[in-house]
Structure 1
Amino acid sequence: MAAQALQPKRKLDERYLARQRWARAGWIYGAMLALAVFFIGPFYVAYLGSLKDNPLEWPFRYTFAQTQPKNWAAAWRLGQLGAGDPWLGGFVPGARVPFQISYFVQAGQEPQAPLVTVPTRRAGAGLGAIFDEVQAARYAQVSEVQEVGRRPAVVGGEPGQIVTYSFTVTYEGQGPKAARLPLDVEAPRGQLYYAATLDPNRLERRGRVASWDSITPGFLGYVFRNYVRVFNEARDPNTGASFFLRWTLNTFLVCLTVVLSTLLFASLAGYALARMYFPGKNYLFAFVVFTMTVPAQAIFISNYLVLRDLGLLGSLWGMVVWSAVGAGAVFIMKQFFE
């Protein structure tokens, strides 16, 4: 009878202990998740900065043109109209690209149509500025700018009206494909830019000129423009081969070789220091730990001279030899084997 009476109590104790274990695990994993979210913040900010036309702008904004879904849809559609390519866009013969732009005009002021031009503009800077590029300005024709609508509005506490203008950029006849269709729209004095089919990359001359690097960018060409530039502009001037792909491949080769060499040599050294007995083992281990305190700047010149004498300067093998195995890896492997 006593044993039967104790059974419900044991079950209650087991349930209580189980709830305690689950609660402890929940607190631990919750704290780890919170730390992960906290530390991923800088990476998120860096990612947003990589999408901006001006990554160094200050104060930093978390919402801008490249993060707005309406621009994603517009860039996709305009890329399709300009070159039949909704991803990377362009400007090809036969293209007809309708475009609209709206301005706020204060009450009592008569609206005037803006001046629309397709400028000659090279992409990027550095290597990207030296390559020959088909300029859309040679083939693009801009139609007459027409007013298509007005509506009353209050902007910044000022009464007035929103005036919308429409125009079309066409590519008549035959010719090569242009990778971009840049556009500048200059408003008369007193008219403030309000909206457009696709948000401009920048506003110049105190907001009077709305400037687009391309009004037919495609989705990738607008949202991930800086990434596309890396592939298109970082090229060999002689062969046209992508430097970025070569850099990426070199990075993977060096990292893979360094990881494999570190695992091999650090595990051998760590096992010897942890499990084998030989004269001077403790002194050798103390020397390994001491080398961890020496900054890289102190041995930079000596390492350079060694690599020079070995003929490894300017080569991938020089980078591998430089960082093939480190004292920190040996220390970690020794502690692991112990």
Structure 2
Amino acid sequence: MTALPRETPAPDQTRWLARRRWARAGWLYAFMLLMSFFFLGPFLMGVLSSLKDDPNEYPPRLVIPQLSGAPVRQAYALGVQGSGDGWSGGLRPGRPVTFEVRVASPPGAPQEAPAVALFPYQPVSLVATTRFAQARDFAQVRTEQVGQEGDVRRYRITVTSPALTRQSGDLVQAVLAAPAADGTLRATVGGRAVPVTLDTPEAQAQQFNLVASQPVELARVGEAYYLRGPTFVRTPLQVDVARGQSIVGSTLPPSDRQNFGRSFAFRNVTPGILGYTFNNYRRAFDETVNPQTGRSLFFSWIFNSFLYAFLRVVTAILVCSLAGYALARLNFAGRAAVFFVAVLFVQMVPGQVNLVSNYVLLRDLGLLNLWGLWLNGAVALAGGTFLMRQFFEGLPRELEESAAIDGAGPATTFFRVMLPQVGPSLVALSITQFQGAWNDFFWPLVILRQNTDYTLTVGLSSFQGLYGGQGDYGLILAGAVLSALPVILIFVVFQRYFVDTGADSAVKG
């Protein structure tokens, strides 16, 4: 039988088909971009807002000063001026900091210099901390005009925290210790408390504004330590001009604008890069420091979440793989009933139904802590057991028959033959268990009583209660971004393991 000749498409039809294929690919690509923006857009806006001084600004901006080159360089330079450290910033005794503003004074408007003052800024803290000394109580401010271009005048603002005592000697960073029994002032240097000398009337007068755990700078002369003055993490500055004038520029963009551009507030004019770009992230750790232990609660919450998630993952891998293999491969009396009652029925019952009974049991056992939380999660692995059972049932039985011919027992067959074949399912189980434990909120909120035992989700809820009422959403968003990063990183790293097993190729014929 002679085959009919295949009709060759015309050149115009070929080009039309090619354009149609490219159009379909383009529409599909555009749709995927739209979906990715729809799902990732809120997260990206949260990341940008967590870097802003004012996350509530409207309309929101995608280009922010905290990620712009010139403001970041200025923040680094101001940090070097204030403390010698362009990353952490701050203001140390005896170091002048220069800051410029440009004021527009059109004809007929007042021609006076702007009013400049340091204002107190004591952040709210989750822990009852002592109020540290403020830069306003120590630093001095001086304003001078340094130039004029038309109606715009340039003013230089110099902020200096004077040294209270000796100017010479080796400079040492220290923290004030609790006063000794005789009332003498002491500081912690290198892990040991040393006596501090106050040899001037200014220092003796200012000592009453300093409290234990206050960062200070000492001048060491031989074996003696002299207090030079406190060090400040931030230097808040307020600039106001008269009616008719306006502020048209400054070394750093303002944190807040008021009075139609006549009042600029800067939360920190010695920020450094960490205090400018990542200020909210630094606050998440600094404003949860327990003054008695010196340990950040935020670090404790992260450690508790990782520990809880690790225990949940290890327990799930051991229990779910063994139970899933037994329900899928081993023949024993009542296997179907066990699968129905212990797996399917447990998944049908919400965990809140057992809230009171589980809480009373853990309370009577003295396990209202992280270990009780793990124990509560260890008995709720029905979903993981069902997942592993389905994976094991999909493996060919020839693998077990070959192992039995070679003399392998049930334990050897499971650990050396069957378990390596379900690697992708173990990865999937680990990721789902880690994500569930990391994001778990209900049971940690019920069981955990001490703030040092909190997981990150419960700790962030306390952020919402304390900072949300004040509109300080930048710190809340910073905590939320830090909470989301581990889950995102784990999924990105391990997603390549979500592939089919090689079990089918292990059997020939």
TM-score (norm 1): 0.80
**C-alpha distance in 2, partners of 1:284/1:32?**
46
CA, structure 1 residues 279+32, in 2 after alignment: closer, same or farther (shift >3 Å)?
farther
Alignment of 1:1-338 (within 5 A): 34=33, 38-105=38-105, 108-122=108-122, 124-127=123-126, 130-146=129-145, 148-151=147-150, 161-173=151-163, 174-205=228-259, 207-287=261-341, 288-313=343-368, 315-324=369-378, 325-338=380-393
After superposition, give the CA deviation of every residue in 1:64-99 in whole Å (9 maximum; x if it has no partner).
332322211110000000000100101112212111
Partner-residue secondary structure (3-state), 1:323:
helix
Q: Which residue type is aligned with residue 335 of structure 1?
A: Q
Q: Which residue type is aligned with residue 269 of structure 1?
A: A
Q: CA deviation at 1:115?
A: 0.4
Q: CA deviation at 1:114?
A: 1.0
After superposition, give the CA deviation of every residue in 1:297-335 in whole Å (9 maximum; x if it has no partner).
33322221221122211x110111122242211111111
Q: Is the 8 A contact 1:116 1:184 kept in 2?
A: yes
**C-alpha distance in 1, partners of 2:257/2:313?**
48
**C-alpha distance in 1, partners of 2:49/2:127?**
21
Partner-residue secondary structure (3-state), 2:361:
helix
Q: CA deviation at 1:32?
A: 11
CA, structure 1 residues 51+268, in 2 after alignment: closer, same or farther (shift >3 Å)?
same
TM-score (norm 2): 0.55
Partner-residue secondary structure (3-state), 1:304:
helix
Q: Is the 8 A contact 1:127 1:237 kept in 2?
A: no
Q: Is the 8 A contact 1:118 1:183 kept in 2?
A: yes
**C-alpha distance in 2, partners of 1:104/1:271?**
78
**C-alpha distance in 2, partners of 1:248/1:255?**
11
After superposition, give the CA deviation of every residue in 1:215-262 in whole Å (9 maximum; x if it has no partner).
001001111001111121101132222111111111111111110001
**C-alpha distance in 2, partners of 1:328/1:192?**
64
CA, structure 1 residues 110+208, in 2 after alignment: closer, same or farther (shift >3 Å)?
closer
**C-alpha distance in 2, partners of 1:264/1:185?**
63
Q: Is the 8 A contact 1:114 1:145 kept in 2?
A: no
**C-alpha distance in 2, partners of 1:103/1:336?**
71
Partner-residue secondary structure (3-state), 1:241:
coil
Q: Is the 8 A contact 1:148 1:166 kept in 2?
A: no
Q: Percent identity?
A: 40
Deviates more, 1:34-43 or 1:238-247: 34-43
Any gaps of 5 or more consecutive residues in structure 1?
1-22, 152-160
After superposition, give the CA deviation of every residue in 1:184-242 in whole Å (9 maximum; x if it has no partner).
11121232332210112112455432111210010011110011111211011322221
Q: CA deviation at 1:170?
A: 1.9
Q: CA deviation at 1:176?
A: 2.4
Partner-residue secondary structure (3-state), 1:146:
strand
Q: Which residue type is aligned with residue 278 of structure 2?
A: F
CA, structure 1 residues 67+237, in 2 after alignment: closer, same or farther (shift >3 Å)?
same
**C-alpha distance in 2, partners of 1:321/1:64?**
46
Partner-residue secondary structure (3-state), 1:76:
helix
Partner-residue secondary structure (3-state), 2:101:
strand
Q: CA deviation at 1:164?
A: 2.8
CA, structure 1 residues 269+30, in 2 after alignment: closer, same or farther (shift >3 Å)?
farther
Partner-residue secondary structure (3-state), 1:216:
coil
Q: CA deviation at 1:289?
A: 2.1
Any gaps of 5 or more consecutive residues in structure 2?
1-21, 164-227, 394-509
Partner-residue secondary structure (3-state), 2:238:
strand
Tell me the matched-pair count. 302
Q: Is the 8 A contact 2:110 2:242 kept in 1?
A: no
**C-alpha distance in 2, partners of 1:210/1:278?**
77
